[in-house]
Structure 1
Amino acid sequence: MNIDISTPALLFPAITLLLLAYTNRFVALATLARGLRVRYKESPEMRTTLFSQIKNLRLRLILIRNMQALGIASFFCCVLCMVLMYLGRQVVAEYIFGASLFLLLGSLFLSFIETQISTKAIKLELKDLEENTSSKG
């Protein structure tokens, strides 16, 4: 395979948009964590449900941190690849670009797992809401 300096540059917009999306997820989860903490302190009867949501949230935060780390490493490898091409180290640059692609793939895989866990968390929240609604009605 022979790539030129513009090939890794093609990943720049994709990686930066992914990192922005990951940051937005992180901010949303941080807000949710603060809200769960308040609910946990205020509602002793809900502690079992809230505790499972908090455990779920902790796992999701770890996944998002790792997604971001892999995305940043992928971005770093893209830039390093371009530097190596500029310095005339084509073969090494191609391996670094391959590493960048695998890091990006890992980040996307973790994103998929986090999305699955997020869906389970929403189901848990809806189940809790349905139980509260049916017990009142």
Structure 2
Amino acid sequence: MEFWHHGQVHLVPADRAHRPAIDQHRACEAIAAIGDRDRVAAWARRFDLLSEPGRLTLLLAIDSAGPISVTDLATAAGMSDTAVSQALRLLRTAGVVEPQRDGRVVRYRISDPGIRPLLKAATT
């Protein structure tokens, strides 16, 4: 479905063209702001990772002091080494952190630069 607003054509996706709009230009602006649904889903997954206090605590510590070992993270976060390792496994699978081996010690650092602004916002 096409809407005209200020001489521009705005398109509503076919799967939503049957829905009535009160202010067509606002609907089009909202659709444009939402953008790519895959990008929205990726950001929702980031927020989901941050929604658990233990993971958020670890990410804040890694962002500030990383690269940092599991043992040091456990001490800083007040968590067991096992709980830290489990959380890091999830964060690593999600591509948010990555390990760096230094001999027998593995240290973690943030690997997703998109998460840094969220962590900064969490501390202000």
Same fold by TM (over 0.5)? no
Q: Which has the bigger relative contact order, CA under 8 A and spacing at least 6? A: 1
Q: TM-score, normalised by structure 1?
A: 0.29
Q: TM-score, normalised by structure 2?
A: 0.31
| Larger fraction in helix | 1
| Larger fraction in strand | 2
